[in-house]
Amino acid sequence: MRLYLLIFLIFGGWLFFMTKQTVRGIRNNNPLNIRKGNDWQGESSFSRDAEFETYKHHKYGFRAGAILLRNYQRLYHLDTLTELIGRFAPPNENNTKNYAQFVAKRVGVDVNQPLNLRNDELLAQVLHAMSIMEVGRHYSYSDAMQGVRLA
């Protein structure tokens, strides 16, 4: 009986630590912290997060980000990082200027340079940089590319 109690306490403590200490976007397989709103391919049927999407695998989170950014270009003619990030991470919630400058530096472009996000490699670079800004250095460029290929 004591052994079972000890195992339960250790496992329960580990589970509590993992769910409370892991960054929300990583916990949700949502590298860009996309808010709930659309029905996305790869959405998890179980989520404890009322505000942000939860995906079955992070590749679906990158896929959703790829679709969002391409839609911003196609539907709203937002072509620069300043414009794209301004819509994705609005200034009332984020330091949009800093965010756009961070992504631009990582990608090697100017914040006001028009981008062609139909270019999969460029889009994966942008998404990877955005994921670093959102959740830290948890995901790789190839993780981002997996999502772009699904988009």
Is 87 part of any domain? Answer: yes
Domain assignment present for 5:
no
The two tokens of residue 140 are 């790789």
CA atoms of 115 and 54, how far apart (whole Å) = 28
Look at residue 143 and tell me whether its pLDDT is greater than 70: yes
Would the pLDDT of 31 be above 60? yes
Gap between the Cα atoms of 34 and 136, Å rounded = 15
pLDDT average, residue stretch 52-72: 96
Q: Which domain holds residue 90?
A: 10-150
| 3-class SS of residue 80 | coil
65-123 tens-digit pLDDT: 999 999 999 999 999 999 999 999 999 999 999 999 999 999 999 999 999 999 999 99
Question: Rounded to 5, what percent of the chain is helix, strand, coil?
Answer: 60, 5, 40
Calculate the average pLDDT of the chain.
Answer: 89
Residue 3 lies in a domain: no
The total domain count for the chain is: 1
